[in-house]
Structure 1
Amino acid sequence: MHCSSPKMVCETKIVADEHDAIQGTKKDSIIVSSSQMWTSSTPAPNPIEENDVRKDTVFIREFERTDHVEVRRIFYEGIMERIPNTAFRGILQQSQTQFLYVLLTLMCFVVSKSLALTCCAPFALMAARYFYSSKVIHNYLACALRTDMADIEEYYMKPTGSCFWVAVLEGRVVGIVAAQGREDDNTVELRRMSVDSRFRGKGIAKVLGRRVLEFAVHNNYAAVVLGTTAVKMAAHKLYESLGFRRTGGSEDYMLPGMSGSPLERLFFQIRYQRYRLQLREE
């Protein structure tokens, strides 16, 4: 049985980019409990200096009902970014798909004998990729907004061993992350991590990730796991910088909302990768 973590607000001075925030570097962000920020042996801070510090300080706190609109916005915008990323960046990671599209283009020339039509074929293929990426990801988004993201309190705040946090900067919610406990294998899953695009490159995602690790340690979980379909390498570098190690993946992953039709399989491929951070041996 795991107990929920006590309510705690954490804060950190933003000192690292997501791309540079690698373990052991001088730019590594530090999370400090607000109750530990100033001790009786430390002289009281100058009010002016304290205000300057708080301007670029991100606070991590538990989700509150009033955060719901901003949380859904950040989640929605983060997922929508995956449409062009999956359609265009994703193909760079799929050598078999590249070969297939080249073959289809050559077949177009053989059948039509038209150089103009053949030159249009790659653009038509990429347009089809964008269409199916948009369709699948919209369906996935609809599923998420009907389930856990529709009632965060019910899915993450009430169950024992789970939680949802927001990152607050200058009074506004700029990032989100969830932890979902799994009793069957004594692990906690890091979920729904996203940062407002206007505030990226400040180390906020790494701070959110560390909060989940703190939660897992406090609740005596053996490991933290996550699954990701992220195309950008920055996301994978972030997980590795937190201590996660890749444990496997799939080239034929089916997102919730996928139909699995032949055309969908032809124009939408996504790589699913699993990560694990072992905290202690069972």
Structure 2
Amino acid sequence: MSGVQIRKYQEEDAESVKEVFTLGMSEHIPSSFVHVLKQPLTQMVLMCTFCALITSSNSYLLPFLAVALLLAVARLGIVYMFNRYIEATLSSDLRDVTTSYLRSPDSCFWVAESEGRVVGTVACLPAENAPGCLELKRMSVRRSHRGRGIAKALCRTVEDFTRDRGYAAVVLHTSMVQTEAQKLYEHMGFKRIREFVLPEAAAKILNFMLYEYRLDVHNSKEIRK
């Protein structure tokens, strides 16, 4: 990780942080589309549409065009959902990182900087549904700087902060399509403790799972209440 510095967020990092987050989330659109294609419901709809049209039209062109249109609509739907999530995040905690993460002693936001450029981010704050734990959030590294140990260093930064603040563990959530993130967290010692489907109707229909991970930091200090 030569030439990379991990430091606390500064106000001038705002636009770079938003860019890193947006690019990182957008990378998961193709894998999410593949997940949708693998679902039995999707395959059934495509097959029924194709068979119904080829039977009624006696032509291969119309069924193929209809299936292509359905696939295009499905991909646009996925793009829309990701863009909606990105916009919601940019309008919430990333709109004012200082207020969201740097006003409390038990939360923080870090960036990884290389040659004056923000190439990675991570944050943590007290977990709402896990007393005594901090939640790791906004982990992202630019594609051009992956494979250099930056993500591992960002994880360790959160782990050390969690231990220093007297919390018992780090928890986080990641989606089923973020396979590289899952490998990273498991390599760092995180254990998957829960799997659940998002409450939105589309997520339930498409069986889009979220995974919850936990890393006990084996802290000897008194756990904060």
Q: TM-score range by the shorter chain?
A: 0.7 to 0.9
1:1-282 correspondence runs (5 A): 14=1, 56-88=2-34, 90-91=35-36, 94-182=39-127, 185-229=131-175, 231-251=177-197, 253-254=198-199, 260=201, 270-280=208-218
**Cα deviation digits, residues 221-250 of structure 1 (max 9, x gap):** 111111112514222111100111112222
> SS at the partner of 1:160?
coil
The runs of 5 or more residues in structure 1 that have no matched partner are 1-13, 15-55
Structure 2 match to 1:28: none
Q: Which has the higher contact order (CA 8 A, sep 6+)?
A: 1
What displacement does 1:80 show?
2.1
Q: Distance in 1 between matches of 2:62 and 2:204?
A: 20
**Contact 2:109–2:122 (CA<8 Å) still a contact in 1?**
yes
**Contact 2:124–2:158 (CA<8 Å) still a contact in 1?**
yes
**Cα deviation digits, residues 158-214 of structure 1 (max 9, x gap):** 123110000011222110001111376111111011111221222211111111111
**Contact 1:188–1:223 (CA<8 Å) still a contact in 2?**
yes
Matched pairs, number: 219
**Contact 2:49–2:63 (CA<8 Å) still a contact in 1?**
no
Query: Structure 2 counterpart of 1:276, which letter?
Result: R
> SS at the partner of 2:109?
strand
Residue identity (%): 34
Q: Distance in 2 between matches of 1:165 and 1:73?
A: 15
What displacement does 1:266 show?
9.5
Q: Distance in 2 between matches of 1:102 and 1:59?
A: 52
Q: Distance in 2 between matches of 1:208 and 1:179?
A: 11
Q: Cα RMSD (Å) of the superposition?
A: 2.6
**Contact 2:3–2:114 (CA<8 Å) still a contact in 1?**
yes
Query: Structure 2 counterpart of 1:140, which letter?
Result: Y
**Contact 1:91–1:98 (CA<8 Å) still a contact in 2?**
no
TM-score (ref. length: structure 2): 0.85
TM-score (ref. length: structure 1): 0.69
Query: Structure 1 counterpart of 2:68, which letter?
Result: F
What displacement does 1:104 show?
4.0
The runs of 5 or more residues in structure 2 that have no matched partner are none
> SS at the partner of 1:149?
helix
Query: Structure 1 counterpart of 2:149, which letter?
Result: G
Higher CA-based Rg: 1
**Contact 2:174–2:211 (CA<8 Å) still a contact in 1?**
yes
